[in-house]
Amino acid sequence: KAGVTQTPRYLIKTRGQQVTLSCSPISGHRSVSWYQQTPGQGLQFLFEYFSETQRNKGNFPGRFSGRQFSNSRSEMNVSTLELGDSALYLCASSLAQPQETQYFGPGTRLLVL
Amino acid sequence: DQQVKQNSPSLSVQEGRISILNCDYTNSMFDYFLWYKKYPAEGPTFLISISSIKDKNEDGRFTVFLNKSAKHLSLHIVPSQPGDSAVYFCAASARFSGGSNYKLTFGKGTLLTVNP
């Protein structure tokens, strides 16, 4: 069974631009969660989607948004990029509930210049 | 407010010895705990989990201990190997309590270095 895939793996953007990251969960998994990882901050929860609905959201500004499609694939979007948005963005999937074991993709490394 | 805390940012041990990574939590609703291992530039990999009805779970060289009264869990790696060198994250959720908190809450991680 294929794991969680994320595209692109690396991205360089400039301040003010916007970016869209994509995540394909493990087949059969319907819950997708997104995290931001920066040095010293661990994994900061962004949001979680299930059946195309956002069920939970972390403490991030409205510039961070996401969506989920009917095939459970998910995208997250960051608008008006700031230097501080440079981070590793991780997607994780689980069968139905994020409280269960989550399986992570390799992440997208975003660098904002 | 950090609900899951890993107070040691780093730990260094000798190959063959035991590694003990610690984690404390504050939310009494948490009833499911996990450990993940992360190498640089990769996503975290699930290692082992434990539910609150148990106090110990073992999988090969990895054992997780849960002390509910102290709200403390630990991961023991025996024997430690150089390939175990990575960042270890503790995570918790209210999986069985039926809460609507649809997420895992992670600690900030502990960098384990196993020296040959």
Q: What is the mean pLDDT of residues A93-100?
A: 80
The beta-carbon neighbor of A33 closest among B36, B46, B103 is: B103
**Cα dihedral angle (B26, B43, B83, A1), rounded to 10 degrees?**
110
Ordered per-residue pLDDT tens for chain B, 116 residues: 689 999 999 999 999 999 999 999 999 989 899 999 999 878 999 999 999 999 999 999 999 999 999 999 999 999 999 999 999 999 998 876 665 566 788 999 999 999 99
Residues A39-68: tens digit of each pLDDT: 877 889 999 999 999 988 989 999 999 999
Of A102, A105, A109, nearest to B104 by CB-CB distance is: A102
Q: And the tokens for A87?
A: 């981070």
Question: E strand or H helix at A26, and its extent?
Answer: none
Answer whether A107 sits within 8 Å of B42, measured CB to CB: yes
Q: Do A56 and B106 touch (CB under 8 A)?
A: no
Q: Does B1 touch chain A (CB under 8 A)?
A: no
* Residue A37 DSSP symbol: E
Size of interface A-B (CB pairs under 8 A): 71
pLDDT for position B103: 78
CB contact under 8 A, B103 and A98: yes
Do A105 and A92 meet the contact criterion of CB atoms below 8 Å apart? yes
Q: Which residue's structure tokens are 């991780």?
A: A90
Q: What is the DSSP string of B55-107?
A: SEEEETTEEEEEETTTTEEEEEESS--GGG-EEEEEEEE-TTTT-S--S-EE-
- A60 part of contact set with chain B, CB < 8 Å: no
Residues of chain B found within 8 Å of residue A46, distances taken between Cβ atoms: none
Given CB atoms, is A66 within the 8 Å cutoff of chain B?
A: no
**Separation of alpha carbons A97 and A99, rounded Å:** 5
Structure token digits, residue B1: 């407010």
Q: Are strands B45-51 and B32-38 parallel, antiparallel or unpaired?
A: antiparallel
**How crowded is residue B54: how many other Cβ atoms within 10 Å of its Cβ?**
13
Give the tokens for residue B78: 């025996």
Instruction: Determine the number of helices (DSSP H) and then strands (DSSP E) in chain A.
Output: 0, 11
Q: Which two tokens stand for residue A72?
A: 């459970």
